[in-house]
Amino acid sequence: MTITLPICGTEIDVDFDPAPIRQRYAEERARRLREDNFGQFQGFADVRAIDDTDQFSAPIERGAIAAEHDVVILGGGFGGLLAGAYLTQQGVTDFRIVEQAGDFGGTWYWNRYPGVQCDVESYIYLPLLEETGYLPTQRYADGDEILGHAQRIGRHFDLYRAALFQTSATSVRWSDTLQRWEIRTDRDDVLTARFVVRANGPLNKPQFPRVPGIADFKGAMFHTSRWDYGYTGGDQHGGMTNLRDKRVAIIGTGATGIQAVPFLAEDAAELFVIQRTPSLVGPRDNRPTDPAWAASLTPGWQQRRHHNFNSLVNGHPQDENLVGDIWTTILTAVTGRHLVEAPLESFALDDQVVLAEVADMQLMRTVHDRIEGIVANPATAEKLKPWFGAICKRPTFNDEYLQSFNRPSVHLIASANGVEKFTETGLVVDGEHYEVDCIVFATGFETGSSTADRYGYDIVGRNGLSMREEFAAGAKTLHGFFSAGFPNFVELGLSQNAYVVNFTYMLDRKARHAARVIGHALSRDIARIEPEDGAQAEWVQRTRESGLARLFYLATCTPGYYSGQGDLQHGFFGDVYQRSEIEYWEMIEKWWEAGAFEGLQLSSAELELQG
């Protein structure tokens, strides 16, 4: 069947009718919408049957610390490491890094589940490769290699000297009297600092489904971010020999579940994959690093690769595709640019939207075709097909996941309602009980709660201003870095700055910019940096307007953390500047090079004392 669609002033031939696909998308969304949105999840504190201790490092014994510093960095993942590295390059070395885990690494410290890998090419995902003289061993690095690189950065920039591991902030409060921040921790530390840099990360607090009976289950039960190899045996590369006589259920088929399932399928006697919504699963095509290619690299290669990749995924055509991965394939295909000869910008916005919808559906049909070509059982293949737009959820890439369902020991339990209840011996889905020995939660991380709830502390600024309350209706920043009422506080996480795919690139650019602003302030004895109210309000408005197109798109999607589980205003991208990353960072560079610090108030120490 061929249908000719009049789009953008031309006729485009497609082999499908968009109308029934659009209707199917709406039906699948309606089946999964819930009134409780984020209320359907709970955290570790609510699931006391599951251990949240740090099993990867021996307990660190030390006394409480009272100290003054120029900077305190909250978080020791890549964001905190990059902040420390760039501050060091600026000549700022009087800082502390407060980190909950027993070492650097952040999400890569905690997530050691079998099959864990980055889903962005490692040559652009791992930061500071040229600076540390390291090149990843394969195109998509395994988790232990990524963790090793985080530790390499820590050693290279002498950051271990500044780290307080197994330590969590409990209070971050600005002192109007001292004109400094006071940071208290769960070890009774009291740190004061001229600047606070928050680099806790947005996906740091594991979540579980709020389902009756979760504490009744008598078998093994753990979250993927706290994998129990003492129970399963093996390590993140597999070899879980203790599961050879075990029936295992894994709940969740997002990015983590997609990676873990093939290893569980290999080792468990039986595996039950509990799927509420299928994921888009594209080919990964991982391979070892080519020595000849590595030898051909010249200085500045990583920056050029970053720019090429970000240009393509942000809609800026390039003469070549240096990365050539599924991200650049998907995010260029869904624009529909390849379907018309004239530049997209020459068409009316309505025509661009229709063109993008058709291109998106065309892409999803190839995803369905791939499933049918791999999964032998037609009924199982049908259940694995995602019926939503290609970027409704973060796409996943794996070369063994779909193949796992051809094993007779692997069972796909697909239900839009998810798990109904837990029992002492298993779980119930759509009225049917499944007895299992072990339940693995691949159910992701909290994204709907406030940052204060997620991080375990509030930020309290001038005159007792609570960031929890001030940001209740959304973040308020200048360029995603600084906030009025919170002097010398810098946000490195996702907060009204541009971001599309590569999170560590965003962290790198934010850390670099934050470090040079802080370095400037310290070298010139500037006591306080804070946005002007008008400049901040203008940036908030620009940020919210930039996300209208994505909101329109997400309104058609099945619920997920991108869409706020159906509550669009609290989706993952709700406070993200959603125009081009390329244009955003060009704007930041021009702002810096101008030297006027437009939109910021910079007060000298002398003026502060006089005040």
Residues of the chain with pLDDT under 70: 1, 36-52, 202-204, 446-454, 568, 605-611
Q: What pLDDT, on a 0 to 100 scale, did the predictor assign at position 431? A: 96
Separation in Å, CA 161 to CA 43, 96, 153, 164, 165: 32, 9, 13, 9, 11
pLDDT at 367: 96
pTM passes above 0.85: yes
Q: Which two tokens stand for residue 418?
A: 């998810």
At 350 the pLDDT is: 79
Phi, psi of 364 (to 5 degrees): -65, -25
Instruction: Tell which residue, 90, 207, 220, has the closest CA to residue 514.
Output: 90
CA-CA-CA-CA torsion sign (14, 18, 24, 30)? positive
Q: Smallest Cα–Cα separation from 97: which of 157, 41, 19?
A: 157
Q: What is the sign, positive or negative, of the torsion defined by CA atoms of 97, 102, 105, 106?
A: negative
Closest CA to 140 of 157, 117, 113: 117
CATH architecture under which domain 66-205+449-604 falls: 3-Layer(bba) Sandwich (3.50)
DSSP SS3 for 332: helix
pLDDT in tens, 315-326: 899 999 999 998
Query: Do residues 536 and 608 lie in contact, with contact meaning Cβ atoms separated by under 8 Å?
Result: no
| Angle, vertex CA 41, rays to CA 35 and CA 42, nearest 5 | 140
pLDDT at 609: 42
What DSSP letter does each residue of 498-513 carry, written as one string? B-SS-HHHHHHHHHHH
- How far is Cα 499 from Cα 120, in angstroms, rounded to an integer? 14
pLDDT at 123: 98
